[in-house]
């Protein structure tokens, strides 16, 4: 039997953020679908209920995003280190990682080149994906959402960015991109040494490493 080594990988605030965020996103997607396609889809009974739920979930996601940002940037001071790919990551790491995922993973001839540790928990591909999601798409979807939630007080801003149609269109496309992220994200998370190896630390905080 292999020796088990345990690493505390995901601190509590990050776990709280993550699952609040995941629940928030699922709620936003479900209510958003009803808001955009009310003639085909009715999940929450009335349109008004879908709208209020969407507004509430949007605020929850925005607040929890700030929690995440505050924790990583201010308390843990690891935001850049964990999430922003280094030059090395981009030059070699990403290629190595891609090669592993799309070739060696299937042949089973090599191990995952990346090993998680609390200060380096994402492989270069994860970094790339997470940085785009968390520092570009999520902030943008929150900002467009907040504009749509305050159209009257922000009408000058609305005009400056091209009108409600543009903002609503961008919000919709960003939401689609984030929706597309979820199945990919979920699937990639099952690529650990066991299908649930990555889910556990997101729940308990602890990662069990196999000793090699």
Partner 1 sequence: MLCSAVVMLLTAWSGTGLWAMETADCLGCHNYADEVGEMNHVDEVKFMATAHAAMGCESCHAVTEEHPFDAETAAVVSSCEDCHVSIHETYSSSVHGDSARCVDCHNPHQAYAPVSLSGRQMNDSCDMCHPMTQMEEVHSRWLPETGIHLDAVPCVTCHSSSDDFAITLYLRHRDRPYTDYELASYAALQEQTGTENIASIIDADASGDISIDELNEFYADNGSHRMRLWAMMTPETVEHNFTTFDNRWDCTYCHAAGPENMQESYVALPQEDGTYRRLPLEKGATLNALFGTPDFYMVGATRSRTLDIIGFLIILGGFAMPIGHGTLRFLTRKNRRKDH
Given the rule CB under 8 A, which residues bind partner 1?
A: 2, 35-39, 46-48, 51-52, 55, 101-102, 105-109, 151-152, 155-156, 159-160, 162-166, 168-169, 172-173, 175-177, 179-184, 186-188
Q: How far is the CB of 51 from ligand HEM (least distance, A)?
A: 21
* 79 or 158: CB nearest ligand HEM: 79
Q: Does 143 bind ligand HEM (CB under 6 A)?
A: no
Q: Which does 198 bind (CB under 5 to 8 A by kind): ligand HEM, partner 1, none?
A: ligand HEM
CA-to-CA distance for 181 and 170, rounded, in angstroms? 16
Q: Is 27 in the site for ligand HEM (CB under 6 A)?
A: no
Is 71 a binding residue for ligand HEM by CB under 6 A? The answer is no
Single residue of 50, 125, 175, 178 touching ligand HEM by CB under 6 A = 178
Q: Please identify, among the stretches 18-26, 51-59, 96-104, 153-161, the one whose residues bind ligand HEM according to the rule CB under 6 A.
A: 18-26
Give the one entry of ligand HEM, partner 1, none that residue 3 binds, where binding means its C-beta sits below a cut-off of 5 to 8 angstroms depending on kind. Answer: none
Nearer to partner 1, 79 or 198 (CB): 198
Q: Measured at CB, which residue is nearest to ligand HEM?
A: 189
Q: How many angstroms separate the CA atoms of 24 and 16, rounded?
A: 12
What's the per-residue H, E or C state across the chain?
Answer: CCCEEEEECCCHHHHHHHHHHHHHHHHHHHHHHHHHCCCCCCCCCCHHHHHHHHHHHHHHHHHHHHHHHHHHHHHCCCHHHHHCCCHHHHHHHHHHHHHHHHHHHHHCCCCCCCCCCCCCCCCHHHHHHHHHHHHHHHHHHHHHHHHHHCCCCCHHHHHHCCCHHHHHHHHHHHHHHHHHHHHHHHHHHCCCCCCCCCHHHHHHCEEEEECC
Compute the distance between CA of residue 47 and CA of residue 35 in angstroms, rounded to an integer. 7
- Residues of this chain that bind ligand HEM (CB under 6 A): 10, 14, 18, 21-22, 25-26, 121, 126, 130, 133-134, 138, 178, 182, 185-186, 189, 198-199, 202
């Amino acid at each position: 039997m292999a020796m088990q080594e345990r690493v505390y990988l995901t601190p509590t605030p990050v776990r709280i953020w993550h699952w609040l965020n995941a629940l928030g996103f699922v709620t936003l997607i479900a209510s958003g679908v009803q808001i955009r396609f009310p003639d085909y889809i009715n999940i929450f009974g009335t349109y008004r209920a879908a709208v209020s739920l969407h507004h509430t979930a949007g605020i929850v996601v925005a607040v929890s995003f700030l929690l995440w940002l505050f924790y990583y940037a201010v308390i843990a001071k690891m935001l850049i280190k964990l999430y922003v790919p280094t030059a090395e990551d981009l030059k070699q790491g990403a290629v190595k990682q891609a090669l592993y995922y799309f070739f060696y993973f299937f042949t089973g001839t090599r191990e995952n080149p990346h090993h998680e540790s609390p200060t380096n928990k994402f492989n270069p591909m994860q970094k790339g994906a997470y940085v785009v999601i968390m520092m570009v798409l999520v902030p943008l979807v929150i900002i467009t959402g907040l504009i749509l939630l305050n159209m009257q007080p922000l009408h000058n801003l609305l005009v400056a960015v091209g009108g409600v149609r543009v903002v609503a269109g961008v919000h919709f496309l960003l939401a689609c991109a984030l929706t597309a992220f979820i199945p990919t994200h979920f699937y990639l998370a099952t690529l650990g040494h066991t299908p649930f190896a990555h889910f556990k630390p997101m729940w308990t905080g602890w990662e069990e490493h196999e000793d090699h």
